[in-house]
Structure 1
Amino acid sequence: MSDRKKHVVIFADYYLPGYKAGGPIRSLSALVTSLQDQYQFTIITRNHDFGELTPYQIIPNTGHRSSEATIYYLDKTKRNFFFYYQLLKKLAPDVVYLNSFFSFRFSLLPLLSTKFLNRKNILILLAPRGEFSPGALAIKSIKKKIYLSILKWFYRQMTFHATGEDEAHYIRQYFNKASLRIATNQFYSAYLEKIKTSIKQPGNLKIIYLSRITKKKNLIGVLRLLTQYPLPVSLDIYGPLEDEAYWKNCQKLIQNLSDSIKINYLGSVDPQFVGEKFSQYDVFLFLTHGENFGHVILEALAAGCPVLLSQATPWKNLEQNGAGWCYHEEDFAAITAKLKELVAYDQAQYQQLINNAKAYAKQYTCLSSNLLNENLFKNS
């Protein structure tokens, strides 16, 4: 019996050392780290970070070996069917793992290239990364509906990777006969044992928003809430400006905020400092339109920062674990009532929330190690 590891070739628009594309990069990295002993990994990605034109200081279009995978950082000249076809022919993968449905360069073209290899024993696995959630599909909805209607037949025999039952449900709405594999995202955190550095002062609340500045993440919802219900709070905003027009609308709302609200935009945060940032705040306010996982939510909890979320995430049992709260994103009255309650808390009251948040993240970390399906890439 052969001891050869099965070869998994991963296509993703962005990968390490990039970080501005958010959770999918960290989820992919954790998956590769956790399964490197079982599988051989090759990753094919862009040679620059999300929203950047400056390439990495890495020689493009050739394989770079890390401790966990071989990585090809492609420039514009190589992100095409012909290069993919020749590369896949050389790599001879057992599995081709796509990490988007709507990415033309890193999903559709690799899919076509794999089909043209005419090798029936290759498993083609697609992780839509939340792209079929109602909140995600509502953005540029006409364009996405056209794309779906044209290509739905082509993906009809696809095997999909869902990270939970919610995402599986959304996938089945469009591909009801699709083969589905459910495996949770893996999560590693160096912040679980860190001491909470924020000291809660009664009569004030330090709020953090940390995510991409884009319609889907709904920073405007947070600002509208604070415009309609002024509170003695501070709000620090972190994240790359993905949508400049959207950010201008945010700035208009910021100008209308009460003087009782202190607000700052503090740019992007390198992933290695995310936990440290979260540990400096009292609550992570995130009224997102949709997350299939929400890596940043777990990072906040791991750092001991309670979370106040919309209902459009898979994190439904936060309140019963004393680690946070979920509300409909438009239920401003209920959200404001909770924020007022938190404003009044002192450090002694807040310490239990901090402990619960860390315990919840630690519990998930232990479970995810067991639940990450090592059979995800088995093609039989």
Structure 2
Amino acid sequence: MKVLQVISGMSLKSGGPTTCTYNLLKGLQDTSMAVDLLTFDAVENDKIISREDFMKILPPPKKPRFSYSKALKLWLEEHNDYDLYHTNALWQYPAHAAAVFAQKHNKPYIISPHGMLYPEGLNTSKWFKKVALLLFQKKDLKKATAFHATSHREMKYLRAFGLQQPIAVIPNAIDVNTIQTASIHKKSDPIKIGFLGRLAPIKNLEVLFEAWHASEALTKQAELVVIGDGEEHYMEHLRTVITKKNIENITFTGFLSGEAQEEVMQQLSYLILPSKSENFGMVVPEALARQIPVIASKGTPWEELKTHSCGWWIDNDLETLSTTINEALRLDETQRLEMGKNGRALVEEKYSVDAVSTMMYEFYQWLLSNTETQPSFVDIKS
């Protein structure tokens, strides 16, 4: 049994799908199934996550907006012995080319939209996506054999879009064994709350900054550490918000990766993700694996922060954010460490590479065996 996953990019700056896709593929390498990944190389000033044998890497496309590549089409035609195709993300040529190839050769294919059918996602670059839907994307979706959603919330959006095929709800994978737990903080250490991710309007950073200003952060000698970058015009807007409102104790690190990012993460007492909408939020389990409690908005699918006592799952308005920041600042270090241990236990149980790759392997096996009894995590439209 051979499976080919396809994704446009696997560079360090590509965001969440890069890490979770790589972790899944690494886990699947330990099964009896042969799984490869077809992708493009990183562009200048970026770096691809890996060059292992299962990574089939092509030169980057000249026009990244749609990522058209004749080389990718030829590669699919020359390597046509896969039993199942699994595409990641929407709107770009690699996933479309793999879907067309699978349709042409009567091969099953799965689509992982990675949150791209959320209403907020559809409203970004709206006209481009309307045209893409008319030209190819809607057909690719309707003819897919099955879908992979990372949360029940995403599954609901797929159903709302009118998709009737089986949907497997399988979370993103975290390589827990490679993540070092954060250091125990001394009473004299400043309390650092970190945001990690792409700086964009959907992340609700303006409200976070105002909530920070309204909290007791200054009297507690706390620091808000913003890790990431964004479009220059938006970065300038954030700097203007901070200057006009005289907001203090906010540090911007810019984009960090590898050891530089890890060094900053090890200093955090909490991670905060106040997004208006988030499909999965890889930064959440990555923080929990480090035993860092998390404050996440209800725009994210992280109710488990509340049910597993490893953080806060809250509304993302100014008052609620400010109140929750104050609660975190007042928390006794013993309680914070206990929340951290709860978070690590949750990730090990549900989000580890072994747990997630086992689910995906079972999903692949079920699709290819045509048995009637589906896995418990697969939803079939009645």
**Superposition TM-score, scaled by structure 2 size:** 0.82
> Which digits, 9 at most, give the CA deviation of each residue in 1:281-304, with x for residues without a partner?
121111123222221110111112
Give the SS at the match of 1:198: coil
Residue matched to 2:340: 354
Residue matched to 1:3: none
- The aligned amino acid for 1:91 is H
Residue matched to 1:72: 57
What runs of 5+ residues in structure 1 fail to find an aligned partner?
Answer: 1-5, 59-63
Contact 2:72 2:94 in 1 (8 A): no
Identity %, equivalent residues: 20
1:252 aligns with 2:240: yes
Q: How has the CA–CA distance of structure 1 residues 8 and 65 changed in structure 2, closer, same or farther, with 3 Å as cutoff?
A: farther
Residue matched to 1:174: 161
Q: How has the CA–CA distance of structure 1 residues 179 and 73 changed in structure 2, closer, same or farther, with 3 Å as cutoff?
A: same
1:226 aligns with 2:215: no
> Which digits, 9 at most, give the CA deviation of each residue in 1:133-158, with x for residues without a partner?
23333433454345335532442121
Residue matched to 2:266: 279
Contact 1:213 1:240 in 2 (8 A): yes
Residue matched to 1:11: 6
Residue matched to 1:98: 87
Q: How has the CA–CA distance of structure 1 residues 192 and 365 changed in structure 2, closer, same or farther, with 3 Å as cutoff?
A: farther
Q: How has the CA–CA distance of structure 1 residues 154 and 125 changed in structure 2, closer, same or farther, with 3 Å as cutoff?
A: closer
Measure, in 1, the Cα distance between the counterparts of 2:180 and 2:196. 21
Shift of 1:201: 5.3
What runs of 5+ residues in structure 2 fail to find an aligned partner?
Answer: 369-382
Contact 1:81 1:112 in 2 (8 A): no
- Listed as ranges, the matches of 1:118-267 within 5 Å are 118-120=104-106, 122-148=107-133, 150=135, 151-158=137-144, 159-190=146-177, 194=181, 196-199=183-186, 205-227=191-213, 231-232=217-218, 233-241=222-230, 243-258=231-246, 261-267=248-254
Shift of 1:373: 2.8
Residue matched to 2:289: 302
Give the SS at the match of 2:85: strand
Contact 1:276 1:303 in 2 (8 A): no
- The aligned amino acid for 1:311 is K
Measure, in 2, the Cα distance between the counterparts of 1:113 and 1:288. 37
Shift of 1:200: 5.0
Give the SS at the match of 2:142: coil
Contact 1:226 1:257 in 2 (8 A): no
Contact 1:20 1:240 in 2 (8 A): no
Measure, in 1, the Cα distance between the counterparts of 2:276 and 2:302. 14
Q: How many residues align?
A: 356
Q: How has the CA–CA distance of structure 1 residues 367 and 99 changed in structure 2, closer, same or farther, with 3 Å as cutoff?
A: closer
Measure, in 2, the Cα distance between the counterparts of 1:77 and 1:200. 53
Shift of 1:339: 1.3
Contact 2:171 2:351 in 1 (8 A): no
Residue matched to 1:89: 77
Measure, in 2, the Cα distance between the counterparts of 1:341 and 1:227. 15
- The aligned amino acid for 1:110 is A
> Which digits, 9 at most, give the CA deviation of each residue in 1:217-260, with x for residues without a partner?
3333322433555732311111133x22221211111213446x
Q: How has the CA–CA distance of structure 1 residues 257 and 198 changed in structure 2, closer, same or farther, with 3 Å as cutoff?
A: farther
Give the SS at the match of 1:376: helix
Give the SS at the match of 1:247: helix
- The aligned amino acid for 2:122 is L
- The aligned amino acid for 2:9 is Y
- Listed as ranges, the matches of 1:15-54 within 5 Å are 15=10, 18-36=11-29, 37-48=31-42, 53-54=44-45
Measure, in 2, the Cα distance between the counterparts of 1:73 and 1:200. 51
Shift of 1:340: 1.4
Shift of 1:212: 1.2
Give the SS at the match of 1:76: coil
Q: How has the CA–CA distance of structure 1 residues 178 and 271 changed in structure 2, closer, same or farther, with 3 Å as cutoff?
A: farther
Residue matched to 1:333: 319
Give the SS at the match of 2:141: coil
Relative to its length, the structure with more helix (as a share) is 2
Q: 1:343 aligns with which of 329, 336, 355?
A: 329
Measure, in 2, the Cα distance between the counterparts of 1:76 and 1:369. 35
Measure, in 2, the Cα distance between the counterparts of 1:84 and 1:91. 11
